[in-house]
Structure 1
Amino acid sequence: MAGNLIDYVKWRGDLGFTERPFNDVDALVLATLSYIDLVGFTPNEASGGTVEVREALGELMERSGGDVAPYVRSLATIDARYIDAVAKSRRFGRLHIGRYVDVMDYDNAVQFAAVEVMLPPNSVEGCGKGVRFVSFRGTDLTIAGWREDFMLSFEVTGAQKLAAEYLDRALRAAVAAGEPLMAGGHSKGGNLASFAVASAVPSLAKNVLRCYSFDGPGLDERVVVHDARDVIGGRFVRYQPAYSVIGQLFDRAEEPRAYVASTGSGMLQHDPLTWQVSSSDLILADGLDPDAATFDAALDEWMEPVDMGERERFTNEFFDILGAGGPKLTDVTSREGLPKVMSAANGASDQTKRLVWKLVECVVAKQAARTSDVVRKAYEGVVQSARDAASGLAVSFPRRQLHAE
C-alpha cells in the first residue's frame, strides 16, 4: 500500500509512539513542521515553554480561515489538508513544540528557522526516555532558494552558523534534562542539521541519537572538512528522491543513502509531499534517475577544479540566467520563460552555458515525457535546440560511484 505523507498521518494518526515506535516517515513529518510559519503560535526560544502541536496548528488554521498559503515557507505542497491532519492526529497533535526561531536577514542573505519537538518516553525503540527532535527549515524551489544552496560551495553561510549555535543550546538543554536528541531537515534543512552536528562539541555530539538529511545538499569538503557522518557515523541518515538534484549537490559519494520513490515529475520530486510511503516506512526506488545523474555529473565536472572565487562568480552568473525566466524554478522551462533563459545564456561562459543547456534538456525532456502528444510536439524543438547547444561541449561526464542501502 503506497501513499503520501497525508495518507501516512491518516493511517498512523490514531496510534501514539508508544504503540508504534518512531520511524523515518515520522522524522520526515517532523522535518516539514519547520516549513510552517509558527510566529505567534509557538513559544520562541527566548520566552521558553512549549505548546501542543494541535493547539499551535489549530490556532493557525482558525486564523487563516483555511488559506494556509501565507503561512507555508516552502513551495512544497503543504496545504490545509496536511496541516489539519497533523493537528488532529493523536500521533503528532499531542506532541509539544517550542524553542521556535525564525530569522530573515535580507541584507546579509541569511534565512534560518528551527523548532524543537518533544517526543514522550518510549517513543523511540530501545530508548525509555523522552527524545527531542530539532527540525531545521529548508529552502524552497524559487531561484533565490537555489542560489542560496549553491552559496554553500564557497562559504560557510550565516544560516549554517546559526544552526550550529542553535543545536549547541538545544543539546546542552537536552543533556541537562537527561534526554537524547535527534536533528533533521529537508532540503537546506538537512544540510543545516549535518553542519550543526558536525560542529557540535564531541561531548555533546554523543547525545545525538540520529541526524536526518532529506534531500539536503552535502557539505563541500573544500569548505567544510567534516560532516555529521564523520562525527556520529551510521546515525547520520540520508534520503533522496529518485530524481535528486538538490541532494546531490556537493555530494560525498562514499556516504550511504537511500533513494525514495516519488509521484513528482523531474526536479519536482524534491517536494517531500510527493514521496511515497507505506504505513511504516519510506518506499524505496531502484536508485538515482539517469537524467538527474547526468545533470549532477555536468555540475561536478565544472565545479571540481575551480577555486572559491570562481565558484562565487559562477553561482551569480548561473542564477542570473535562470532568473531571467522568472522567480520560480518551473519558470525556467515554461513557454514564456525558456526563450528568456536561452537569450540570457548567450553571453555566458561556455561552462555556464553548458550547464544551463543540460538543465534545460533534462527538465524539458522530463516534462515532455509526461505530457500529451500535443504538448510534447511543442517541446520537441526546444529539446533539440538544447541538445544541439550542448553537443560537443559535454559528450560524457565523469560519474561518481553512488551507494544505496
Structure 2
Amino acid sequence: MNVSTWVWLVTVAGIVLLLIFDFVFHVRKAHVPTLREAAVWSAVYVGIAILFGLGVLVFAGPTFGGEYFAGYVTEKALSVDNLFVFLIIMSSFAVPREDQQKVLLFGIVFSLFARTAFIFVGATLINSFAWVFYLFGLILILTAANLVKGQLSGGGHDDGENFVVRLARRWFNTSEHYDGDKLFTIENGTRVLTPMLLVMVAIAGTDILFALDSIPAIFGLTQETFIVFTATAFSLMGLRQLYFLIDGLLERLIYLSWGLAVILGFIGVKLVLHALHENTLPFINGGEHVTVPEISTGLSLGVIMGVLLVTVVASLISPKGKARTTIANLRRHTHEYLDLEYTADLAERERVFRRMQIETDQLHSMDAKYHVLVKDEPGLEQQIAEARRRHDEAVAAG
C-alpha cells in the first residue's frame, strides 16, 4: 500500500484538529456531559471512523479496507476494556466528576503518542526481522492466558496506584485535595502535587501497558503502517464520550475479558502461523518457509465480530452480571454522593442520588440468591443510610 506524504500529513492534521476541537469545545470548561451530548458525539466519531474506512475500501481496495475495519473493531474492543481501568483509577483518586473529561482526554492523547511510537518501532522491526511475528504472537497468547487466569481466579484490575504514583507520593510533597484542575498548588506555604497530576501519571503508566498488548494485536491483522496508525487513532477518538455514554454499564460486560482473551489468542495464533509461513530462523525447518494455512482478513474480521457479539449479548442477559453491575454501581454512586469534593454541581449530586435510589430498588427486586453478593460489600448498607440522611437534610434546608 503506497501512501503519499501529503496523505499522511492530511490524516495526522485531521486527527490533531479533532483533538483540539474536542478540548476547546467540550473539555476546556469543566462540566458533566449529558447523556445526549455523549451519545451524539460518540456517534459522530464512530461515523468519522467508518467514513475513513470506506475511503480506504474505495481507494485502496477490499483487502486493505477489510484490514482497517478488523483493526478498528479490535482496537475499539480493547479500548472499552481499558475504560474499566480508567474507571478504577478515577474512582481510586476520587476525581471530581466535572474534571473527569480532562483526565480522559489526557489519557487519549498520551495513549495516541505512546501507541504511535510503538507502531513505528514495530513496523521497523517487522521490516527488518521476520521473526518478530513469533514474538508478537507469543505476547498475545500469553496476554490471553493471563486474562483467562485472572477470570478463573476472580481477580480484577488493580487499584490504579501504580509504581510511578507510589514513588511520587514517597519522594514528593503531595496533597490529598484537588484545587480545580491544577496540577500543582500551595499548601501551608509549600508547593505540592495535586491528585490531578497523580491521576494523570497513573493513566499514562497504564496507557504504556495497554500499548504493549494493543500494537501486537493490530499488527496481527495488518502490517500496513498507515492502516495500523489510523485504525488505532480512530479507535481512541470518541473514547471520552463513550466513557460517559456507557457509564454504569461498564461492569455489566462481565464476559468482555473472556471475549478479548479469545480474540487475542486467535490473533496470536494467526501471527505464529504467519511467522512460520515467512520463517527465516535456521533452527526451524532449516530456515525455510513452513507450509501452514494462513488466516484471511475476512475470517479474522468474522471471528472478531462474532466473539464480541456473543460476549456482549451474554453479558447483558446474564442475571449474575446484572446483579454484580447493580451492586458495583450502587457502591460507586453512594461513595460519590458522600464525597463532598466529588462535584459542586447540585444537579449532578441529585442525579447521583436518583441513580442510587434506582439501583437500591433494583437490588431489592432481584432473586434472593444474588443478595449474598452484598455481603462482599462491607458497610454498604450503612453508607446508603448515611447518604439518604444527608439528602433529606439537603432537601429540608433547600
TM-score (norm 1): 0.23
Higher strand share: 1
TM-score (norm 2): 0.23
Higher helix share: 2
Report which of the two structures shows the higher radius of gyration computed on alpha carbons. Answer: 2
